[in-house]
């Protein structure tokens, strides 16, 4: 992945920055320029919002056939998480055995290495989630 392509999203990938619609109050992640509910009325009214990083598992899977970049991590758990702010996102779930993952489980974001471009390439960082302590 080209460095700028990853770099320009690091605000959201490092700090969970999303947007809140100034018209209806709905929260989106990653940031959107247009609210899917309000459409044109929301243009120019999308406010930056820092998600608190807490949520619950809506669904999950254990990945066994992994892309080359994730080969060393398999099997690993991926989940769709509903954040306390209402928006959902997709993330890896760590520090939990696959058999102990449950729908509804409370989780929180943590800062981790996501991947690396080859052996000496740029390292990508971002969020993963783990069970709430």
Partner 1 sequence: MRDVAVIGVGETEFGELWDRSFRDLGIEAGLKAIQDAKLRSEDIDAVYIGNMSAGKFIDQEHVSALVADYAGLADMHLPTVRVEGGGACGAIALLQGRLAIASGMYDIVVVGGAEKMTDVSEVQAAEILSSTADQEWETVFGATFAGLYAMMARRHMYEYHTTREQMAAVAVKNHKNGSLNPEAQFQKEITLETVLHAPWVAEPLGLFDCAPLSDGAAAVVLCEMQKARKFTDTPIRILGSGQASDFLALHDRRDLTMMDATVVAGKRAFQEARLEPKDVQVAEVHDNFTISEILAIEDLRFVEKGKGGPATADGLTALNGKISVNTSGGLKARGQPVGATGVAQAVEIVRQLRGQAGKRQVVGARRGLTHTLGGTGATAVVHIFERGD
Contact footprint for partner 1 (CB under 8 A): 1, 6, 9, 30, 36, 58-68, 70, 73, 75-76, 78-80, 88-92, 98, 103, 114-115, 124, 126-128
Nearer Cβ to partner 1, position 8 or 50? 8
| Minimum distance, C-beta of residue 38 to partner 1, in the bound complex (Å) | 15
| Minimum distance, C-beta of residue 120 to partner 1, in the bound complex (Å) | 20
Nearer Cβ to partner 1, position 71 or 119? 71
Q: For residues 68 and 104, is the Cβ–Cβ distance under 8 A?
A: no
**Residue 14 to residue 123: CA distance in whole angstroms:** 13
Nearer Cβ to partner 1, position 33 or 66? 66
**Residue 10 to residue 128: CA distance in whole angstroms:** 14
| Minimum distance, C-beta of residue 47 to partner 1, in the bound complex (Å) | 19
Q: Where are the alpha helices (DSSP H) in the chain?
A: 3-7, 10-15
Nearer Cβ to partner 1, position 25 or 86? 86
Distances (CA, A) of 43 to 21, 64, 77, 85: 9, 42, 37, 21
**Residue 102 to residue 98: CA distance in whole angstroms:** 9
Tokens representing residue 14 in the block: 């490092």
| Minimum distance, C-beta of residue 61 to partner 1, in the bound complex (Å) | 4
């Amino acid at each position: 992945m080209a460095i700028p392509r990853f770099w320009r999203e690091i605000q959201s990938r490092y700090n969970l920055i999303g947007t809140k619609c100034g018209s209806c109050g709905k929260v989106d992640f990653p940031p959107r320029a247009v609210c899917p509910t309000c459409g044109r009325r929301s243009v120019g009214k999308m406010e930056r919002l820092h998600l608190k990083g807490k949520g619950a598992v809506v669904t999950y899977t254990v990945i066994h056939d992994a892309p080359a970049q994730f080969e060393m991590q398999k099997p690993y758990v991926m989940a769709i998480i509903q954040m306390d702010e209402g928006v959902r996102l997709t993330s890896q779930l760590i520090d939990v055995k696959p058999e102990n993952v449950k729908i509804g489980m409370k989780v929180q974001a943590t800062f981790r290495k996501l991947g690396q471009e080859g052996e000496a390439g740029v390292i990508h960082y971002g969020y993963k989630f783990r069970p709430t302590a």
